[in-house]
Amino acid sequence: MVKNIKKIAFLTIAALTTIPMMGQDLLARQAPIDRKMKAVDSVALQRLIDIENYESPAADLYKDWNNTYAHRATALPDSLFISLKDFCMPTSSRVITSNFGARWGRQHKGLDIKVYIGDTIRAAFSGKIRIVRYEPRGYGKYVVIRHPNGLETIYGHMSKHLVAENQEVRAGEPIGLGGNTGRSTGSHLHFETRLCGVALNPALMFDFKNQDVIGDYYVFRKSTYNRESAEATRLRGVGGVSVNGDLEEAVATTDNVQSNYRQASSARFHKVSRGESLYSIARKRGTSVAAICKLNHIRKSARLRPGQILRYN
């Protein structure tokens, strides 16, 4: 009996001393797995960051945040993928009263949409309010919003502001009320879409007659912009034929956009800051000077200027 008790006690002690050793062995085996998981997490995190940067080109296109000017034109990229997802029409009005382009001997930089005093004006996309101001000889009471997709939108001639500068807003959030302030001959919303401070035809992206956008994305290309802008005005401007009523043109336009998307969806851009060189940009963006030169058709000895847009992949 005593021998059995001693045997049981010995086995119990042996088992207890073995458990920490087994635990240490388990931890030792787990360590490489933990390191691999951390590596996987790092890769996944970097991929998410890359995706977010890709979907938010404003971070590269606009180096400065300034509340003193409505717009200031800088260099445009040769092409840019602009996401139109998660949008909201600025107004529920379907009536366009003036097109983008030449008007009364000068360039009209946006679309005029018929609204009445007090109508709700909403943010077209989520973003950050850059300007809230009153300009008596121009926009009247207006708001400028910078969006992660690279665009800035301007809403002019409002009767009242509902937001403040540096405020974050969501798509569809009220930002003001329709009005007739500033240089205006009747109550309406003056709506602009700008890229790097340069006015683009809103009809390229927004279809007010059908209260929709043209698709999930718009691909801006300098080489085809003028022709596409004229076509957008023909289809979606004053007196134009809506896309839904012109299926042949709509299909052709969609095919063209799809083709442009395939070419430009992988493009990335860098906005040159003061003091940067091709070498420092290549190192920052994980590419080579030769690759940047080839993509932008420049020489290695080319002088860079602040604000210049360079494609790096």
Asked which of 103-107, 111-115, 155-159, 295-299 is least confident by mean pLDDT, the reply is 103-107
Residue 244: band (very low, low, confident or very high) from pLDDT cuts 50, 70, 90: very low
Regarding predicted confidence, which is higher, 25 or 145?
145
Pull the structure tokens for residue 168.
């974050």
Calculate mean pLDDT across residues 147-151: 95
Regarding predicted confidence, which is higher, 42 or 103?
103
| 133, 145 contact by CB (below 8 A) | no
Pull the structure tokens for residue 6.
């001693």
CA-CA distance, 131 to 145, in Å (whole number)? 7
Q: Give the pLDDT confidence of 268-313 residue by residue, as tens digits.
A: 778 788 888 998 988 888 888 888 888 877 888 888 887 777 878 7
- Average pLDDT value over all residues in the chain: 80
Regarding predicted confidence, which is higher, 282 or 162?
162
Query: Which pTM value belongs to this model?
Result: 0.64
- The reported pLDDT for the residue numbered 264 is 46
CA-CA distance, 129 to 67, in Å (whole number)? 9
Q: Give the pLDDT confidence of 21-50 residue by residue, as tens digits.
A: 544 554 445 555 555 445 555 665 555 544
Provide the residue type at 294 as one letter: K
- Percentage of the chain lying above the pLDDT 90 cut: 47
- The reported pLDDT for the residue numbered 246 is 32
Regarding predicted confidence, which is higher, 162 or 239?
162
Q: Which of 6-15, 239-248, 265-274 has the highest mean pLDDT?
A: 265-274
pLDDT tops 50 at residue 197 = yes
- The reported pLDDT for the residue numbered 12 is 58
- The reported pLDDT for the residue numbered 275 is 87
